[in-house]
Amino acid sequence: MASKIPKKPSIPEPPAGSGNGDSVVLERRTQRVKPPQMFQVVLLNDDFTPMEFVVHIIQEYFSKDRETATQIMLKIHLEGKGICGIYTRDVAGTKVDQVLAASRAAGHPLQCLSEPVE
Ligand code: TYC
């Protein structure tokens, strides 16, 4: 006759994630990363910088074709200022530095700045 092996008293497993001190509880959360603040790079009008130079600057540093660059330049000439592009903070700052350096190197007083959008 086979002797009965006594069964180990069974301890029920705690429900997953119930937190008995050894367990790690993972909560599902939707993480939302907000888009970065954007900065528009603006050129200002003046009475001295040649139109052709401004068109060249807009083509070269803001990747516009000649027609678009000419339209932007004329808008600045007529309205006093105009947006040449919208970028993240660092890229906008670099554009401003590059435009100012190229303008001073050519002996022109062209002014360029960046400002937060909205
Ligand atoms: N007003 C300038 C002129 O008549 C042309 C100009 C346009 C200058 C745009 C600056 O951001 C500027 N020669």
CA of 100 to the centre of ligand 1 (A): 14
Q: Which of 80, 113, 73 is nearest to 97 (CA)?
A: 113
| For ligand 1, atom 4: residue with the closest CA | 47
Instruction: Please give the distance, rounded to the nearest whole angstrom, from the Cα atom of residue 46 to the centre of ligand 1.
Output: 5
Residue by residue, pLDDT tens for the chain (118 residues) are: 344 545 555 545 444 444 455 788 878 888 789 999 999 999 999 999 999 999 999 999 999 999 999 999 999 999 999 999 999 999 999 999 999 999 999 999 999 999 999 8
For the packed helices 66-79 and 51-62, what is the interaxial angle rounded to 10 degrees? 120
φ, ψ dihedrals at 8, nearest 5°: -65, 140
pLDDT score at 89: 98
**CA atoms of 51 and 45, how far apart (whole Å):** 10
pLDDT of residue 80: 98
Domains of the chain: 38-116 (3.30.1390.10)
How many whole angstroms from 87 Cα to the centroid of ligand 1?
Answer: 23
Instruction: Enter the tokens of residue 67.
Output: 């027609």
